[in-house]
A = this chain, B = another copy of it.
Amino acid sequence: MNYYIPFFLSLLILFTTVIAHEKLDSQPLPRPLILEYPEKIELGSKQVNEELQFKCSSWRIAGEANNLSPWKTIPLECADYVKNYMVGRAYIVDLEMVAKEAGDYAKGVQLSGDGKDVWVFDVDETLLSNLPYYADHGYGLEIFDHSQFDKWVEKAMAPAIDSSLKLYEELLGLGFKVFLLTGRRESHRDITIENLRNAGFRDWDKLILRALEDQGKTATIYKSEKRSEMAGDGYRIWGNSGDQWSDLLGMAIANRSFKLPNPMYYIA
């Protein structure tokens, strides 16, 4: 019988090792109950977080679909969401999707060869990215500060939006004339040209900035008037790319308009 003693001893040693291991893992018993507790708390905040993600996503998409009333700042509760979107992969993939759709459409346009086939581009958040500026200003959480933004513009350091630069060059290659139509003021012409060139943009046919008489107008009116002048001069506006609906709507609307994503600010 006495050789059973070492057998049970060995079992005891083994089970002690198992229990010691449990303690090393800081897992008090009973295990299943304790494991449920933190999971439930995590699930709770995860659900709150998930609902907020849905809400902020809905808000962003409502903006892209032009469903929102004019707004001055992004919703406070969406600050992290907008930041994550802007610095993450989603913004880039969204930009690439819009550029690809525009490029595919452009390839199918029958150009006349009379030099009257035009593509209109907005500048800020369409060709040039002011993300370095907005990164310092809460990604749209702060109310827009004209004088602060002017200082940034005057540095001429805004980088190109890569997918827009690629589309831009593709359009020139296809034979489109490119007109740049920006809400920037005429006094910023030279610095804007410098910035566009620094960022790799070349060979635009017109760069239209707000003259003194355009200062009080909404972007929709100012840009509609400028597009109407183009149409009056016999230009065919095949495409228009802009990050604001006020770049695209109003009079003399392009044959196809392309809305680039921008959840950081709204211009009427």
CB atoms of A61 and B62 under 8 A apart = no
CB neighbours of A62 from chain B (8 A)? 94, 97-98, 101
**Interface residue ranges of A1-15 to B (CB < 8 Å):** 2-7, 9-11, 14
Give the number of chain A interface residues (Cβ < 8 Å).
40
CB atoms of A65 and B259 under 8 A apart = yes
- Please, how many angstroms separate the alpha-carbon atoms of A98 and B102 in the complex? 27
Interface stretch, picked from A50-58, A110-118, A206-214, is A50-58
CB atoms of B64 and A101 under 8 A apart = no
- Please, how many angstroms separate the alpha-carbon atoms of A252 and B59 in the complex? 27
CB neighbours of A144 from chain B (8 A)? none
- Please, how many angstroms separate the alpha-carbon atoms of A18 and B189 in the complex? 74
CB neighbours of A105 from chain B (8 A)? 69
**Interface residue ranges of A61-115 to B (CB < 8 Å):** 61-62, 64-69, 89-90, 93-94, 96-98, 101-102, 104-105
| Least CB distance, A89 to chain B, in whole angstroms | 6
- Please, how many angstroms separate the alpha-carbon atoms of A148 and B77 in the complex? 45
CB neighbours of A54 from chain B (8 A)? 89-90, 93
A2-B3, A66-B257, A257-B66 known; A59+B10 contact, CB < 8 A: no
Closest to A63 in B: B65
Closest to A9 in B: B7
- Please, how many angstroms separate the alpha-carbon atoms of A105 and B59 in the complex? 15
Q: Is the C-beta of A258 less than 8 angstroms from some C-beta in chain B?
A: yes
| Least CB distance, A72 to chain B, in whole angstroms | 15
CB neighbours of A4 from chain B (8 A)? 6
Q: Is the C-beta of A261 less than 8 angstroms from some C-beta in chain B?
A: yes
A57-B90, A58-B96, A67-B97 provided; 17 other pairs, C-beta below 8 A? Answer: A3-B3, A7-B9, A10-B10, A14-B14, A54-B90, A55-B93, A57-B94, A58-B90, A61-B61, A61-B64, A62-B101, A65-B98, A65-B259, A65-B261, A67-B98, A67-B102, A69-B105
User: What are 16 pairs between A and B in contact, CB < 8 Å?
Assistant: A2-B3, A3-B6, A4-B6, A6-B7, A14-B14, A54-B89, A59-B97, A61-B94, A65-B98, A65-B259, A65-B261, A67-B102, A67-B258, A67-B259, A69-B101, A69-B105
